[in-house]
């Protein structure tokens, strides 16, 4: 069991914290890591694997343009948190390799964390083969979730109207 997911599970058990993910590059592996954590059925709301640009744009409201970008990562995190009714969400989008994507070199990954108070994004350039980039991305995304859960410096209501997501209310 991953120590980070165990810590996240313990924090969630002691509060009303719920978690969601939106992932492209990691293709469901991030959700699988969270689903394997203790009592995940109580706090892990689920994930959206948005591998297709169409899914990113239509479901998660990613703006038109590059999907390996800060705006895409932020929209993905906000969309997952809202659609899955979670307190906290993380999103990952990137170029795993071996080829570039959207003008970004292999290993270029954007992360975003959405809380009721704000959505922040960070960029990392990982080295290695596609499998190594994938593993580093999952590890970093879990670390970001844990840091946000520990900070808990946000309110408990969502600033994103659920109605803004494709007829879902």
- Is the predicted pLDDT of residue 157 greater than 90, yes or no? no
Number of Cβ atoms within 10 Å of the Cβ of 80:
28
Token digits of residue 167: 């007829």
What is the spatial distance between Cα 95 and Cα 133, in angstroms, rounded to a whole number?
Answer: 9
Is residue 83 within 8 A of residue 55, CB to CB? The reply is no
Q: Looking at residues 61-73, what average pLDDT do you find?
A: 97
Number of Cβ atoms within 10 Å of the Cβ of 163:
10
Angle of the 130-151 helix axis to the 3-13 helix axis, nearest 10: 30
Token digits of residue 5: 């997911």
Residue 166's pLDDT is: 46
Banded model confidence at residue 16, pLDDT cuts 50, 70, 90 = confident
Q: What's this model's pTM, rounded to 2 decimal places?
A: 0.90
Q: Summarize pLDDT for 99-113 with one digit per residue, the tens.
A: 999 999 999 999 999
Across the chain, mean pLDDT equals 91
Banded model confidence at residue 158, pLDDT cuts 50, 70, 90 = very low
Q: Looking at residues 57-68, what average pLDDT do you find?
A: 96
What is the spatial distance between Cα 37 and Cα 34, in angstroms, rounded to a whole number?
Answer: 5
The answer to whether the peptide bond before residue 118 is cis (omega within 30 degrees of 0) is no
How would you class 139 by CB atoms within 10 Å of its CB: exposed for 0-12, middle for 13-18, buried for 19 or more?
middle
Q: Which domains does the chain have, with CATH numbers?
A: 3-156 (3.90.950.20)
What is the spatial distance between Cα 88 and Cα 120, in angstroms, rounded to a whole number?
Answer: 12
């Amino acid at each position: 069991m991953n120590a980070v997911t165990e810590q996240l599970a313990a924090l969630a058990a002691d509060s009303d914290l719920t978690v969601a993910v939106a992932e492209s590059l990691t293709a469901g592996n991030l959700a699988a890591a969270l689903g394997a954590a203790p009592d995940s059925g109580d706090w892990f709301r689920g994930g959206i694997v948005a591998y297709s640009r169409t899914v990113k744009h239509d479901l998660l409201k990613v703006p038109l343009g590059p999907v390996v970008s800060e705006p895409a990562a932020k929209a993905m995190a906000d969309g997952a948190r809202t659609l899955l009714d979670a307190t906290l969400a993380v999103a990952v989008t990137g170029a795993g390799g071996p080829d570039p994507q959207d003008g970004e070199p292999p290993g270029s990954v954007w992360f975003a964390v959405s809380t009721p108070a704000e959505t922040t994004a960070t960029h990392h350039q990982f080295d290695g083969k596609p499998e190594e980039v994938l593993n580093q991305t999952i590890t970093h995304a879990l670390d970001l979730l844990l840091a946000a859960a520990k900070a808990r410096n946000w309110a408990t209501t969502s600033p994103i109207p659920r109605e803004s997501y494709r007829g879902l209310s």
